[in-house]
Structure 1
Amino acid sequence: MSISASPAVSDEVATYIANRIGFIELERPKALNALSSGMIRAIHAALDQWRDNPDVLAVVVRSPHPRAFCAGGDIRFLYESAQRGEHDTRDVFFTGEYRLNHAIFTYPKPYIALMNGVVMGGGMGISQGAHRTGGLRVVTGSTKMAMPETRIGLFPDVGASWFLARTPGAIGRYLAVTGETIGAADALYAGLADVYFDDAALPALLDTLRSEPFERGADVVACIERAALAQHVVPAPEASSLAGARVLIDRHFALPDVARILASLEQERAHEGEAAEWAEQMIGVLRERSPLSMAVSLEVVTRGEGSMADVLRRDLDLTRSSFLVGDTLEGIRARIIDKDNAPRWRFARIEDVSAADVEKMFESPWLADEHPLRDLRG
C-alpha cells in the first residue's frame, strides 16, 4: 500500500492518500475537533488537490479520537475576535467554512464521513454533503448528532437547513428549533445518516479500505456498505426515540411559528400521560433557548427548499446579523465563556418576537453582485 501525504497546511488536520483514497483526519482533540480557520483551509486545499487526481477515487473524512468527529466551529475564537472589534474576522471565517461546505456538497467523487462521537454544528457541515456525492454518512454507537445553535443564540448554519428541510414530516423544524441531540438510530430514521457501524468495527473497516483493491469510487462505497451489512446488530430506525415521538413532533412543530408551537405544547401538557410529559420537557427546552434564534431557525428551515448555494449565501447574511444585532455573542458568553447559563436574550419571551423582527435578520448587508459567496452554484 502506498501512502503519499499532501503538503501540510495545518497541524490540526492530517491529509494523505492511501490505496487510492484521500484521507482527511481531524487532529484537534482537546477542542473536540472544533474547526479552526487553519483546519478549514487544510481540508479545502486537500479536496481541491484531489478533485482531478486520477489516483484518488474517493475521500474519507474521520476523527482518530473516540470522543468526537467534530463539535462545530471555533466559536470561542469568533467571540474573542468580536470583543476586539475584528468583525472582518467573522466574515472571513464563515465565508471560508461555507465555501468548504459547498465544495463537499458538489464534490465529483464519493465523499465518506465516519461520524463517531460528537457531530454538531460545523461537524454537520463537513459530513452531511457526503450524501450528495454518491458517498456515505456513517454513524456509530457513540454518535451524538445535533445542530444546537439556538442554545447560543445562533441558527443551524453550514447549509444544514438544506438537509433539515428534507427530513420526514416536521423533524427538521423540531431539530432546528430545539437543538436536541440525536443518536445513530434517530439519524438513520431522519435521513441524516446512511449506514451504521459499531465503534469497535471502525479499525477493521479502515484496514480494509487501506488494503482492498479498488478501481472506481463506487467500489469504495460498495465495500463500506457490504461491511455494514455484515454486522450482527444494527439499531432499528423505526424503534428510535425520534420515530417514537414522530406523531407529537409533527402535531406541534409543523405549526407556522414558535409562539404557536409553544401554545400547542401547553395544551398538550394539560392532559395526562406520556404525551403530556414529552410536551412538558419540550416547553422546558424552548423556554431556555434564544427566542429570536428559534424564530430565525424555524424560518431558515422553511426557506431551505432552494439550492445549497442560496442556503449558504443566506447563512452568511444571518451570521452577520446574529453577531451584530442578535443573541449570538450573549449566548456564547453565557454558555461557553462565563458559563453562568444565564443569558440575557434580546427578547425575554417567545411571544415577544414579531415576524418583522425575524424578517429584519434575513436582510443581506451585501448587494447581490458583491456577496462574498456570489459565485457559488448548485
Structure 2
Amino acid sequence: MNTPAVSPSAPEAFVVAEVRGRVGCLTLNRPKALNALSLAMVRDITAALLAWRDDAQVLAVTIRGMGKEGPFGAFCAGGDIRFFHQAALAGDPTLEDFFTEEYALNHLIHTYPKPYIAFMDGICMGGGMGVSQGASLRMVTERSRLAMPETNIGLFPDVGGGFFLSRCAGRLGEYLALTGLVLGANEAVAAGLADIVVDTGRLVGLWESLGTTPFETGEAVERWCRTYALKNVAPAAWPLAEIDRVFALDSVMVIVQALEGGSSDWARDTAALLRKRSPLMLHVVLEQVRRARGMGLAEDLRMERDMVRRCFHLRPGVASETVEGIRALAVDKDHQPRWNPDRIEAVQAADVAAFFDSPWPAHAHPLRGLA
C-alpha cells in the first residue's frame, strides 16, 4: 500500500513523498526547473524524513528526480538561484531561512539513522549534491552530471561542500571546488562522490520493485539496490599527479601561475577556466576547503552558514558578487559577469578573511543545534 507522508499544499506538489511497501520514496517534482530546490521543497523533504525516521514501518528512504519526459532524467540542479537573486535585491528575509533550513536538511541526511539511497540520474549539482552526498548509497548513471559549480556564480560550494569535497583523494577537492568541473558517472565514482553506476534502463524497474519486495531490514533494501550495479566502470582520465602537485600550492595566484606555465593542454585549459571564475570566490573557496578538511560536518555547515550570509551582506544588493554572478548566468544571461575585483592578483587577504568572521556569537548561531 502506498501512503502519502506529506500532504501536498498545491494541486501539483514539488515534492512527492509516499511509502511504497516498507520504503519511504521521495520524488523531486519540479522538472521545468530541473528540480531546483525552493524553501517549500526543503521543508517538505525535511518533514518526510523526520516522520519516517520515527516510523518503524519505514525501513529505508530513497530519493529521485522527475525529468521532463517522466521519472528520472534529472535529479536536482541546485537551489533556486533566481529566488536568491530576487530575494537579495528585495531584502527578503526568507533568503536567510532558506540557507538555514537547507543546511539543517543536509545535516539530517548525513546523520540519518536509516539507509538513505539517492538515485542521482541526470543533472546533480549544488543543492542536488547537498541532498545526495550524505546518502548511504549514491547511485549514478551514464546520464549523470555531477558538479559543485558555484565559483561560476560568485558563490562557494556550500550544502556541506567543504566537508565532502575536502574528503576526496589527494587534492581533487580543491580542483573540483575551484573549477566547478562537471563529472560523469565514472569520474564521480573515482572521486568518491558516488558509489555505484546503474544503467538508466533499469531505474524504473528498480524503483517499482521497492514497493513489492518483502524487505525485512533497511540494510536489505540497500543490498537490493546494489545488485543493480554495473560491474565494470572505466577509470577517470584525470592527470592525478599533476592535480595533486598544482592544487596543493599555497594560494590561488600560485596555482594559476603554475597552470599557465604548464606544458599540457590540461594545465592551460584549467588556467583559462579559473580566469573566468570569480577571483574573490576562488580565494574564499580554497580557504574553505582547506579549513573544512580539519572539521566535522556540523562545524563545516556552521562555517558555510557564516560564509553564505557574508556573500549577500558584506556587499549588499547589486554589489554582491553572488548577485552579480547569478545576474550574468540566469537573469540577464549575458554570461559577462563584472567581477569585483576582476583579477585573481587583485584580491586582498582581508577581503577573504571577512567571509570566515561569523556574524553571530556561538550561542545565537542559526545552526547551533547541529551535533
TM-score, scaled to structure 1: 0.92
Deviations 1:293-331 (A, max 9, x none): 111111111111311111111111111111222510110
Match of 2:256 in 1: 262
Deviations 1:246-301 (A, max 9, x none): 12211211112110100111221xx3xxxx21111111101100011111111111
Q: Gaps (5+ residues) in structure 2?
A: none
Match of 1:198 in 2: 199
Amino acid across the alignment from 1:294: L
Partner Cα separation in structure 1 for residue 227 and residue 30 of structure 2: 31
Match of 1:113 in 2: 118
Q: Gaps (5+ residues) in structure 1?
A: none
Instruction: Please state whether the residue corresponding to 1:366 is helix, strand or coil.
Output: coil
Partner Cα separation in structure 2 for residue 178 and residue 9 of structure 1: 38
- 2:241 counterpart of 1:253: no
Match of 1:182 in 2: 183
Which one of 233, 236, 239 corresponds to residue 235 of structure 1?
233
Match of 1:123 in 2: 128
Partner Cα separation in structure 2 for residue 249 and residue 331 of structure 1: 27
Amino acid across the alignment from 2:258: S
Deviation of 1:30 after TM superposition, in Å, equals 0.5
- 2:294 counterpart of 1:295: no
Amino acid across the alignment from 2:130: G
Which one of 81, 86, 89 corresponds to residue 75 of structure 1?
81
- Contact 2:247/2:255, CA 8 A, preserved across alignment: yes
- Contact 2:119/2:138, CA 8 A, preserved across alignment: yes
Which one of 292, 302, 306 corresponds to residue 313 of structure 1?
302
Amino acid across the alignment from 2:233: P
- 2:330 counterpart of 1:331: no
The alignment of Structure 1 onto Structure 2 pairs a total of residues equal to 358
Instruction: Please state whether the residue corresponding to 1:128 is helix, strand or coil.
Output: coil
Deviation of 1:352 after TM superposition, in Å, equals 1.3
Amino acid across the alignment from 2:269: Q
Tell me how large the CA RMSD over aligned residues is: 1.2
Partner Cα separation in structure 1 for residue 165 and residue 324 of structure 2: 26
Instruction: Please state whether the residue corresponding to 1:95 is helix, strand or coil.
Output: helix
- Contact 2:146/2:183, CA 8 A, preserved across alignment: yes
Partner Cα separation in structure 2 for residue 200 and residue 359 of structure 1: 48
Deviates more, 1:361-370 or 1:320-329: 320-329
Which one of 43, 46, 52 corresponds to residue 45 of structure 2?
43
Match of 1:91 in 2: 96
Deviation of 1:207 after TM superposition, in Å, equals 2.5
Instruction: Please state whether the residue corresponding to 2:119 is helix, strand or coil.
Output: strand
Partner Cα separation in structure 2 for residue 113 and residue 171 of structure 1: 22
Dislocated runs of 4+, deviation >6 Å:
none
- Contact 2:6/2:44, CA 8 A, preserved across alignment: no
Match of 1:26 in 2: 28
Partner Cα separation in structure 2 for residue 31 and residue 261 of structure 1: 35
Q: Percent identity, please.
A: 49
Partner Cα separation in structure 2 for residue 227 and residue 33 of structure 1: 25
Q: As a proportion of its length, which structure holds more helix? A: 1
Match of 2:271 in 1: 283
- Contact 1:32/1:67, CA 8 A, preserved across alignment: no
Match of 2:56 in 1: 54
